[in-house]
Amino acid sequence: MEYDRILIRYGEISTKGRNRNKFIDKLRKSVRIALRNFPEIKIEASRDRMYVVLNGENAREIIEKLTHIFGIQSFSPAIKAAKEIELVKQSSLDLVQSQYKDGKTFKVTAKRSDKTFELTTDEINHTLGDHLLQNIPGLKVNVKNPDINLRVEVRKDAIYLSCETIPGAGGLPAGSGGKAMLMLSGGIDSPVAGYLAMRRGLDIEAVHFFSPPFTSERAKDKVIDLSRKLAEIAGGSITLHIVPFTEVQQAIREQVPENYTMTSTRRMMLRITDEIRKNREALAIITGENLGQVASQTIESMYAINDVTNTPILRPLISMDKNDIIKIADKIDTLEISNRPYEDCCTIFVPASPKTKPKREKVRQYESYFDFEPLIQKAVHDVETITIKPGEELSQEFDDLF
């Protein structure tokens, strides 16, 4: 038994009214990129579903790729049968047998888009149902909640049979929602925040603050590796802006009372990120902030930090529990990288007792005695911008062949 095609269901895209075609085009592009190493496939998209026609390519490998694509609600591998009921009976039996385990129940759901077919949907359901019951001992019918739902679709060219529904990644297709800057530390949270933002269709560019010699090259490599994971998820490249932050941090340490240095550091990071955002024509900033985790993330702290900009700050993790964040980090394969032990620029100058309830007026006042703007402009000017491709090592090896 060989699968002929995979039927893809859009889920939420189908509720997007006039934007629907745009969403479908974006999804088609994501599928095309994710399946770029399967040259024989063909993608057929219509208003309410998409097919990946396999043309002999490996179904299991393709299914694995599809589970990561945003904008897909679920999908089903299907086999193709000629419009001849005896052949359909045989193919149905092969398919259900491949899914059958002792005690499982089933039903048949036929649908005809080609009404000229010799049997009605009821007749197809009964004919195939009887055939399966006769040939698979132990199989039982359950119309309400079957383990196996054999879907039979009668179309113009052939009949398609499927019985597996595999959940997709959900969300909206990559790039369907504009661009935002992700503040990417080496921690567990911010890559997960980036993932969740991408899941809603946002394109992201990452910004990382780096304070040599206090933070090592290893810490930078860690962020590059995290960005590479995000690039794999995005199905394209990710732009990473590395901001030299040492001078700003030193100025903060000299100018601002110790218990306010953290608040001020966050404010400067946000100001710099916002400048880069303007240059890159993005419309929002994403952080991995999560209410109450640490001193910088109390609501008072967010209020004092957020003061430096009107740009929307998206905090996808704001109300999540740490355990749930870790589960996602594990699923998207960033946890192991985040757990590497290198210092982050925020951990090196951590004050002994940071204010958990900083006052906006106070931090404004402390910062007013010194003109941070030139240092901020210098940091923005000296940003190192790199493009990170998914699985870069592989593609370099590949390039070397030529």
| Residues binding ligand ATP (CB under 6 A) | 183-185, 187-190, 207-209, 287-289, 293-294, 296-297, 344-346
Q: Residue 145: what residue type?
A: N
Handedness of CA 255, 260, 262, 268 (dihedral sign): negative
Shortest gap between Cβ of 55 and Mg ion (angstroms)? 47
Tell me which residue has its CB nearest to Mg ion: 187
Tokens 């079957």 correspond to what residue? 146
Cβ-based nearer residue to ligand ATP, 162 or 190 = 190
In terms of Cα–Cα distance, which of 141, 183, 130, 221 is closest to 317? 183
Binder of residue 183, out of Mg ion, ligand ATP, none (CB less than 5 to 8 A by kind): ligand ATP
Shortest gap between Cβ of 274 and ligand ATP (angstroms)? 13
Convert residues 179-218 into a mask of x (bound to Mg ion by CB under 5 A) and - (unbound): ------x-x-------------------------------
Q: Which residues contact 15 (CB under 8 A, 6 or more apart)?
A: none
Shortest gap between Cβ of 49 and ligand ATP (angstroms)? 37
Instruction: Please report the DSSP string for 139-204 in residue order.
Output: -EE-SSS-SEEEEEEE-SS-EEEE---EEEEESB-TTSS-EEEEE--SSSHHHHHHHHHHHBT-EE
Question: Count residues contacting Mg ion (CB under 5 A)?
Answer: 2
CB 286 within 8 A of CB 183: yes
Shortest gap between Cβ of 314 and ligand ATP (angstroms)? 10
CB 225 within 8 A of CB 390: no
Binder of residue 367, out of Mg ion, ligand ATP, none (CB less than 5 to 8 A by kind): none
* 129 near Mg ion, judged by CB under 5 A: no
CB 356 within 8 A of CB 301: yes
Whole-number Å distance between alpha carbons of 309 and 311: 5
Cβ-based nearer residue to ligand ATP, 135 or 293 = 293
CB 148 within 8 A of CB 105: yes
Binder of residue 30, out of ligand ATP, Mg ion, none (CB less than 5 to 8 A by kind): none
Cβ-based nearer residue to ligand ATP, 162 or 265 = 265
Shortest gap between Cβ of 135 and Mg ion (angstroms)? 59
CB 23 within 8 A of CB 13: yes
- Window of 17-25, 49-57, 177-185, 391-399 that interacts with Mg ion by CB under 5 A: 177-185
Binder of residue 230, out of ligand ATP, Mg ion, none (CB less than 5 to 8 A by kind): none
* 171 near Mg ion, judged by CB under 5 A: no
Q: Which residues contact 81 (CB under 8 A, 6 or more apart)?
A: 87, 88, 90, 91, 158, 159, 160, 161
Cβ-based nearer residue to Mg ion, 324 or 361 = 324
Tell me which residue has its CB nearest to ligand ATP: 187
Handedness of CA 327, 330, 334, 339 (dihedral sign): positive
Q: Which residues contact 113 (CB under 8 A, 6 or more apart)?
A: 153, 154, 155, 156
Shortest gap between Cβ of 173 and ligand ATP (angstroms)? 24
Shortest gap between Cβ of 197 and ligand ATP (angstroms)? 11
For Mg ion, the binding residues (CB under 5 A) are 185, 187
